[in-house]
Amino acid sequence: MEVWYPSHVERAKKAIKSLVKAVSGIVEVVDARAPMATRPMDIEPYFNRKIKVLFLNKTDLAEPYVTDKWIDFLSKKGIMVMTGSLKKMKNANKIFDPFKKSSGEVNIAIVGMPNVGKSTLVNMIKHRRSTSIGDRPGITRAVQWIRIGDQLKMLDTPGVTYPRVFNDLLYAKLGLCNVIDVEKVDFEALVYYELNLLYKINPDLVGKVAEGSSVMEMVESYAKKRGFLLKGGTLDMNRALFTIHREITHGEFGRVSYEVPSDYDRI
């Protein structure tokens, strides 16, 4: 399945690979709703032996008890894990505590998939908007060093993805975490995968969105309920799919986690 994979992503991977050698540590930002699926596995080998914090962001959108399970699971694997919602937190400085040194400058690379909140984190620490953020993947297009005082420098990096995904489940999770820009791929297919996964995880939540015994029926009933019509009175299914995707991924129907640690018991 196609993932939007513009040339800046490939460039970013190369830049991260070379710059990571010079940094003191890494903060890898993932989406708390799917912390394993949103780990950029293809660049993780670059971080070998560096101090790394895995920050599960957007906990405001995830099920709190599932996030607690993730903390337990990841910590037991020896990963330094922190969680939070950059939208709700007043101060994100604690994320950098593990990198503190008694003297000298600390350089930290902030890495992760698109739209997980990397630039939001940089701006919070800097206390001003020094790098662009946005409600869609692919906002940051090039690596950028941001100086924070004379002790800390951060490298904001573009979100990285895979050129293709061959697993329906992973594809749905990336869509539901807004890592994939729905406007850049066959969004009809993507939103169907998303709804199918959600239906398995939380049929009640899908029931809040729309009624019907199949995903197709639900999208139709939703389009009717919202009055999404094209000229001539046919249902505007595209608009319904886009709106459903937006509302679900922004937590308008409630918090939901898209994966649990037991899905990964065998690794």
Ligand X SMILES: Nc1nc2c(ncn2[C@@H]2O[C@H](COP(=O)(O)OP(=O)(O)OP(=O)(O)O)[C@@H](O)[C@H]2O)c(=O)[nH]1
In the complex, the residues that contact ligand X under the rule CB under 6 A are: 57-58, 60-61, 85-87, 112, 114-120, 133-135, 137-140, 158-159
| 242 Cβ neighbours under 8 A, 6+ residues apart | 182, 187, 191
Q: Is 140 in the site for Mg ion (CB under 5 A)?
A: yes
**In terms of CB distance, is 92 or 218 closer to ligand X?**
92
Residues 243/194, Cβ–Cβ less than 8 Å: no
**In terms of CB distance, is 25 or 114 closer to ligand X?**
114
| 130 Cβ neighbours under 8 A, 6+ residues apart | 122, 123, 146
What tokens were used for 121? 């984190």
> Does residue 80 sit in helix, strand or coil?
strand
Strands 106-112 and 80-83, how do they pair?
unpaired
What tokens were used for 239? 């608009």
**In terms of CB distance, is 174 or 235 closer to ligand X?**
174
**In terms of CB distance, is 53 or 218 closer to ligand X?**
53
Indicate which single residue of 38, 119, 178, 243 sits in contact with Mg ion (rule: CB under 5 A).
119
Return the range that interacts with Mg ion (CB under 5 A); candidates 19-27, 117-125, 217-225, 235-243. 117-125
- As measured in angstroms, the least distance from the Cβ of 139 to Mg ion is 5
- As measured in angstroms, the least distance from the Cβ of 109 to Mg ion is 13
What tokens were used for 267? 């690794």
Distances (CA, A) of 210 to 9, 25, 200, 228, 264: 36, 45, 15, 14, 31
What share of residues in the chain are helix, strand, coil (percent, to 5)? 45, 15, 40
**In terms of CB distance, is 118 or 223 closer to ligand X?**
118
Residue 161, contacted partner among Mg ion, ligand X, none, CB below 5-8 A by kind: none
- As measured in angstroms, the least distance from the Cβ of 106 to Mg ion is 21
Site of interaction with Mg ion (CB under 5 A): 118-119, 139-140
